[in-house]
Amino acid sequence: MSELPSLHELLAHSHLLTERQRRLGSIGSVGPLLCVHSQAERDGEAVAVDRFFAGDCSPTAALLAMRNYGPERDHLLFVVDAPAERQRAFARAGFRLLESQWLMGCDLAQWQPSPPPTTAGTVHRARATADAVTLSAIDGLEPVPMDELRDPALVHYYVASENHPVAYGRNARYDRTIAWVSQVYTAPQHRRMGHASALMEQLLMDDASAAVARSMLLATAMAHPLYARLGYGDVAAVAILQAPPALLRRGTR
């Protein structure tokens, strides 16, 4: 199996895999942290969004780096390899835990496909901008930007049940040997019917056929059991933290 880069570096770069992300964002070192700075639209206005990524870094050092960086709005800190005691240390420093997730990986040399659930729909690839209309019909899915549908670095998948789209997911190459899965989603009324499992089985089969060595993703608590059943193993716990603005302003010049 191919060697992974440092885990916080891998997670940071997973935010810059698409042409759109690279156009709107950049990455750089901020003390011991990596920072992905990007632009988003909120209420019709462009706003700056900063995501910080910590590896082996103390809460004090992370807080100092974030304070020195600049404006405190929309600062989130992803702490990789964050067992419970390390999360408590960040909490004692004033950070607020938003969510615990898992960085997971699937070794495709060892992976064995499973038959899709009989209740699952049919998996399709969204290949053209016309598919934006199809994807927009998935209840609760945020609109997929048109330039992402055109992006050759992305492969978009969706599941149709009774000719109605019900689930979505996408896959991107991190490098020649690693692929990154993101935005896997099933409409609420169609969950627990195997649609996401069928989508992921097809995605992994495509990766294996393309000689991808490892598939990676960041899993929520709700999705973690699904990915474990599909052959993904835990690589590291990830704590997603927020530093209250008052904490970031304290002691700043």
Residues 25 and 90 in one domain: yes
Residues 90 and 114 in one domain: no
* 172 located within any domain: yes
Residues 198 and 124 in one domain: yes
Mean pLDDT for 183-194 is 96
Question: What pLDDT, on a 0 to 100 scale, did the predictor assign at position 250?
Answer: 56
Residue range 98-107, pLDDT digits in tens: 999 999 999 9
| Statement: residue 251 has pLDDT above 70 | no
| pTM over the 0.85 mark | yes
Spatial CB neighbours of 199, under 8 Å, sequence gap ≥ 6: 123, 157, 158, 159, 167, 168, 169, 184
| Statement: residue 252 has pLDDT above 50 | no
Question: What pLDDT, on a 0 to 100 scale, did the predictor assign at position 45?
Answer: 76
Residues 205 and 125 in one domain: yes
Question: What pLDDT, on a 0 to 100 scale, did the predictor assign at position 176?
Answer: 85
* 70 located within any domain: yes
Residues 144 and 197 in one domain: yes
Closest to 230 measured CA to CA, from 134, 140, 105: 105
Greater pLDDT, 190 or 253: 190
Residues 97 and 114 in one domain: no
Q: How many domains does the chain have?
A: 2
* 231 located within any domain: no
* 151 located within any domain: yes
Residues 40 and 88 in one domain: yes
| Statement: residue 148 has pLDDT above 50 | yes
Residue range 150-180, pLDDT digits in tens: 999 999 999 999 989 999 999 999 988 999 9
| Statement: residue 2 has pLDDT above 80 | no
Question: What pLDDT, on a 0 to 100 scale, did the predictor assign at position 1?
Answer: 44
Q: What percent of the chain has pLDDT over 70?
A: 94
* 159 located within any domain: yes
Query: Mean pLDDT across the chain, nearest whole number?
Result: 91
Residues 140 and 206 in one domain: yes
Half-sphere exposure of 168 (CA within 13 A, CB side): 23
CATH number of the domain where residue 22 is located: 3.40.630
CATH number of the domain where residue 119 is located: 3.40.630.30
For residues 146 and 21, the answer to whether their CB atoms sit within 8 Å is no
Residue range 44-80, pLDDT digits in tens: 777 788 999 999 999 999 999 998 887 766 689 999 9
* 220 located within any domain: no
Residues 58 and 73 in one domain: yes
* 230 located within any domain: no
Domain with 15, as residue range(s), is 7-104+237-249
Distance CA 24, CA 174 (A): 18
Residue range 15-41, pLDDT digits in tens: 999 998 999 899 999 999 999 998 877
Q: pLDDT band at 224, cuts 50/70/90?
A: very high
